[in-house]
A and B are shown apart, each in its own frame.
Chain A
Amino acid sequence: MPNPRRIEINCETGVESIIELTDAEVAELAYQAELAAEKKAEEDARAEADATAKAALLVKLGITADEAKLLLA
């Protein structure tokens, strides 16, 4: 199976080239994919924790999200 290709446009000459990625570039992409997936998982977990904490606080205060918005407006 061929490696993915990239488009390179030389702005000086206007020449557009379709270049197959080298094995090293494919490996770099795989590494970046791993990092991106880890970072996204962290961000998703943080967002979920924030939402859970917010919901718990509303329950503790005995008010709805809309009432909280009203208080902060």
Chain B
Amino acid sequence: MANTFELITSTTVGAGGASSIDFTSIASTYTDLLIKLSTRQTGSAVGYQFGIRFNGSSSGYSRILLYGDGVAANAGSGSAETFARIAFTQSSTYTANTFNNVELYIPNYAGSAYKSFSTDGVSEGNATQIYSAGIYAGLWSNTAAITSISISEYSGSGTNFAQYSTAYLYGVKNA
């Protein structure tokens, strides 16, 4: 059980926005990693998700998820994907001036086994079918230690992280 959380680094998106937030040169001195996101996108599309890549890799990601979209409870899955999808993003269509909350936990990120991860995320949107909450379990089928993490919206171009979005990276030790 984790008993120490150490802030490795954090960032706040400036006025120009950012297409991605990239953490590089992550030391292997921790047991697990935790990322906390509070973000909003500049684009208006609804139903897209964050896409993250470990070490710049574009293969080997799979996921299973449960989510609520304001209409019904749903489930989904994906395999052999080019990004790890971890939560629904919050676009400009959602409630104005609000940001989503997402936690991504990556245990044993520096080990030699495949890398599992779990996330939970919520968004604020007072409308029908607005994808407001989800939990994910995912796997990166790669044995390399994770040394970099890139976070963007899976929809690719046309949307940026809006100003005041934040990302915090914590290192976790259990001893």
Contact = CB atoms under 8 A, between A and B. Distances in A.
Looking at chain B, what size class is its interface with the partner chain?
20 to 34
Interface string A23-51: 00010011111111100100110010000
Interface residues of A, number: 28
A29 B155 CA distance: 8
A6 B158 contact: no
B5 to A, nearest CB: 15
Given A32-B156, A35-B82, A6 B11 contact: no
Contacts, number: 82
Contacts of B107: none
Nearest to B161: A7
B20 to A, nearest CB: 4
Contact of A7 (B18, B26, B27, B154): B18
Nearest to B76: A43
Contacts of A18: 14, 16, 18
Contact of A9 (B11, B155, B158): B11
Interface of A: 4-14, 16, 18, 21, 26, 29-37, 40, 43-44, 47
Given A9-B23, A12-B25, A33-B158, 16 more contacts: A5-B16, A6-B18, A6-B22, A6-B152, A7-B13, A7-B20, A7-B21, A9-B9, A9-B11, A18-B18, A21-B19, A29-B156, A32-B83, A40-B47, A43-B76, A47-B74
15 contacts: A5-B16, A5-B19, A7-B11, A7-B18, A9-B11, A9-B22, A9-B24, A10-B24, A11-B8, A12-B25, A29-B156, A32-B83, A32-B154, A35-B82, A40-B155
